[in-house]
A and B are shown apart, each in its own frame.
Chain A
Amino acid sequence: MKQERKRSNAPIFWALFGAGGMLSALFGPMLVFITGLAVPLGLLLPADTMSYPHMLAFARNWLGKGFIFAIIALFLWHAAHRIFHSLHDIGIHAGTGAKLICYGLAMLGTVLAAYALLAIGF
């Protein structure tokens, strides 16, 4: 009983989803703590940690750029994949349309992040 099978292209999205999941598990809570609690409330970290000059320097550094890009892009791909599958789970099988919207937004975010990081200079 042999039939032609179409290879799924899911591994691409699954790999991005997996990488984003790993990254968000590792860095998500820490980033929320730093940006949402520690800095605004002046806990543990110096008050000017997230001042404009500091952040600009961070974003102009190669490593900083890489970090910001990976965080934004992979978090977005993770979210897109999650939302796409959750839509399916609650009975919205919009198929290609939903796919385009979910992954398209992640793609857009990725391109914008890359553009902004390059535009901000070195």
Chain B
Amino acid sequence: MAEKTIEIEVLRYHPEKDREPHRQVFEVPFTDDMSVLQGVQYIKDYLDGSLSFRWSCRMAICGSCGMMINGIPSLSCQTFLRDYYPARVRVEALSHFPIERDLVISMDGFIEKLESIQPYIIPKEPRTLEQGEYLQTPEQLDAYEQFSSCINCLLCYAACPQFGLNPDFVGPAAIALLHRYNVDSRDGAKAERMELVNSEEGVFNCTAVGYCSEVCPKHVDPANAVNQNKTNSAADYFLRFLAPKGGAK
């Protein structure tokens, strides 16, 4: 029996020799259980060793294998070739990011945003060892748990048309994570983070498209975090003159 094969079309870009990205089609042996990631791994191992892409866990945990697969931001390790076979599959670097090489995008902008939201608990009141751990009720855990599942895969940024138009927009995942710390009962730095939420790079860039939450592989629902913070920000904007010491300036 002749071996089954599938065509994988890959967006290639080697900055040292290509003036712009171009497409290349590879014919890859196909089995039912192959992920798209395994497909591009086959290309790298047997057809063209210069193909570059990121991956690590192969089980939708590490968040490094995000790609546009037939135009949809997806984790290539949990997207299967059988869902496209016998048609050709198109694989490209994540939209809206500068391409570093082939399917590898530059994450620099995102890392800066991640730093800017202070993604760690800044305690309301530091506790001494003797005072023991911080306790939380299940309700207090519920308030932020969903938003803490983000794996920084950036699919939501590739999905967000507003980030595509304005790369300064803090964007879905960073705002979801910002929200995760703001609603944590142990944290005391909400006012500082709200400055970013309220700023011109903040939540009001969002036009409630919602595609970010649709493509999120971890059900973080970043759109929810962004839109909750529109309300928070608007309340802060109008009520800051009433509250003693106001909110963020």
Contacts and interface: CB of A to CB of B under 8 A. Distances in A.
A96 to B, nearest CB: 13
A33 B233 CA distance: 36
A6 B204 CA distance: 13
Contacts of A14: 204, 230, 234
Nearest to B197: A8
Nearest to B199: A5
Contacts of B233: 8, 11
Nearest to B240: A7
Contacts of B116: 1
A11 B200 contact: no
Contacts of A1: 112, 115-116
A7 B234 contact: no
A11 B199 contact: no
Interface in A43-95: 85, 88-89, 91, 93
Nearest to A3: B116
Contact of A8 (B112, B165, B200, B207): B200
Nearest to A9: B237
B165 A15 contact: no
A119 interface: no
A7 B199 contact: yes
A11 B196 contact: no
A15 B249 CA distance: 19
B223 to A, nearest CB: 16
A11 B204 contact: yes
B187 interface: no
Given A7-B248, A88-B165, A15 B200 contact: no
Contacts of B238: 11, 15
Contacts of B112: 1
B196 A89 contact: no
A10 interface: yes
Given A88-B165, A89-B165, A7 B249 contact: yes
Nearest to A5: B199
Given A8-B198, A11-B233, A89 B204 contact: no
Interface in B196-249: 196, 198-202, 204, 207, 230, 233-234, 237-238, 248-249
A35 B161 CA distance: 38
Contacts of B249: 7
Nearest to A15: B234
B195 interface: yes
A89 to B, nearest CB: 7
B92 to A, nearest CB: 21
Nearest to A91: B165
23 contacts: A1-B116, A5-B196, A5-B200, A6-B200, A7-B195, A7-B198, A7-B200, A7-B237, A8-B198, A8-B200, A8-B202, A8-B204, A8-B233, A10-B204, A11-B204, A11-B234, A11-B237, A14-B204, A15-B238, A89-B161, A89-B207, A91-B165, A93-B165
Given A1-B115, A89-B161, 14 more contacts: A1-B116, A5-B195, A5-B198, A5-B199, A5-B201, A6-B199, A7-B200, A8-B200, A8-B204, A15-B234, A15-B238, A89-B165, A91-B165, A93-B165
